[in-house]
Amino acid sequence: MERRVNYENDLNLMATEPRSGLPGCGDDEPQRKTNPSIRNNKRTVPEISEVSSSESNSSITMSGSDDQDSPPPAKEQVVGWPPIRSNRKNCLQSSKRNEVEGMGMYVKVSVDGAPYLRKIDLKVYGGYPQLLKALENMFKLTIGAYSKREGYNGSDNAPTYEDKDGDWMLVGDVPWE
């Protein structure tokens, strides 16, 4: 669903003449703002956002059989919003850089049907089996055993990731390193 916010246009939805009346006014006709907080569709990557850092080009997604959506439109950055001080913003951004540069390799993981994404640090795991186990624990699902010939046979869930070329690849084919 379209999530763009056009706050400049929305300012005068209600009548502007002064109203006298008891509190409880005005909200009788609630504004049905479409702002779903729970996504049903698979998240697509990479995110198109000019302000978040680029670590999202590595991302693991559990794909079922759905088609991918088109990526959400770029978010306009409003000056001074959300109200976070510069030093905190800078810290967040440099933490993200550190994540990419090797202090910890955090990647985003999304699962079909789950309302929230999670982040995991790839560096913590020694190899694919541990990674898959961790994902199984985190999302309470089974992935099954990997085999070169048949991929993941044990379940409906298959771990995939998007590589540098933007292609969706099955996790496990490429050596861990």
Partner 1 sequence: MPRRLASSLSDEVLEHVFSFIQSDKDRNVVSAVCKSWYEIERWCRRKIFVGNCYAVSPKMVIRRFPQVRSIELKGKPHFADFNLVPDGWGGYVLQWITEMAGAYPWLDEIRLKRMVVTDESLELIAKSFKDFKVLVLASCEGFSTDGLAAIAASCKNLRELDLRESEVDDSSVHWLSHFPETYTSMVSLNISCLGSGEVSFSALERLVSRCPNLRSLKLNRAVPLDKTANILRLAPQLVEFSTCTYSAELRSDVFSNLAGAFSNCKELRSLSGFWDVVPDYLPAIYSVCSRLTSLNLSYATIQSPDLIKLASHCPSLQHLLVLDYTEDSGLEALASNSKDLQELRVFPSDPFDAEPNASLTEQGLVAVSLGCPKLQSVLYFCRRMSNAALVTIAQNRPNLTRFRLCIIEPKTADYLTGEPFGVGFGAIVEHCKDLIRLSLSGLLTDCVFEYIGKYAKKLEMLSVAFAGDSDLGLHHVLSGCESLRKLEIRDCPFGDKALLTNAAKLETMRSLWMSSCSVSFEACKLLSQKMPRLNVEVIDERGPPDSRPENYTVDKLYIYRSVAGPRFDMPPFVWTKDEDLALRLSP
- Nearest CB to partner 1, comparing residues 78 and 148: 78
Q: State yes or no: residue 153 binds partner 1 (CB under 8 A).
A: no
Q: State yes or no: residue 1 binds partner 1 (CB under 8 A).
A: no
d(CA 18, CA 15): 8
d(CA 53, CA 89): 12
In the complex, the smallest distance separating the C-beta of residue 77 from partner 1, rounded to whole angstroms, is: 7
First to last CA, the chain: 38
Q: How far is CA 76 from CA 15, 66, 87, 126, in A?
A: 28, 29, 22, 40
In the complex, the smallest distance separating the C-beta of residue 45 from partner 1, rounded to whole angstroms, is: 10
A 10 A CB-CB count for 152 gives: 20
Q: Report the residue from 91, 122, 142, 153 that binds partner 1 according to the rule CB under 8 A.
A: 91
- Nearest to residue 160, comparing CAs of 47, 71, 42? 42
Q: Report the residue from 1, 2, 9, 19 that binds partner 1 according to the rule CB under 8 A.
A: 19
Q: State yes or no: residue 87 binds partner 1 (CB under 8 A).
A: yes
- Nearest to residue 161, comparing CAs of 50, 43, 71? 43
Q: Report the residue from 68, 77, 142, 147 that binds partner 1 according to the rule CB under 8 A.
A: 77
Q: Report the residue from 65, 70, 82, 175 that binds partner 1 according to the rule CB under 8 A.
A: 82
Q: State yes or no: residue 83 binds partner 1 (CB under 8 A).
A: yes
- In order, the DSSP letters of 28-93 are SS-------SS--SPP-SS---SSS-GGGGSEEEEE-SPPPPPPPPPPPPPTT-S---HHHHHHHH
Residues 111-130 that bind partner 1 (CB under 8 A): 115-119
Q: Report the residue from 12, 67, 70, 166 that binds partner 1 according to the rule CB under 8 A.
A: 12
Chain residues that interact with partner 1, rule: CB under 8 A: 3, 5, 7, 10-19, 23-27, 30-33, 35, 37, 39, 43, 47, 49, 51-52, 72, 75, 77-89, 91-92, 95, 98-99, 103-104, 108, 115-119
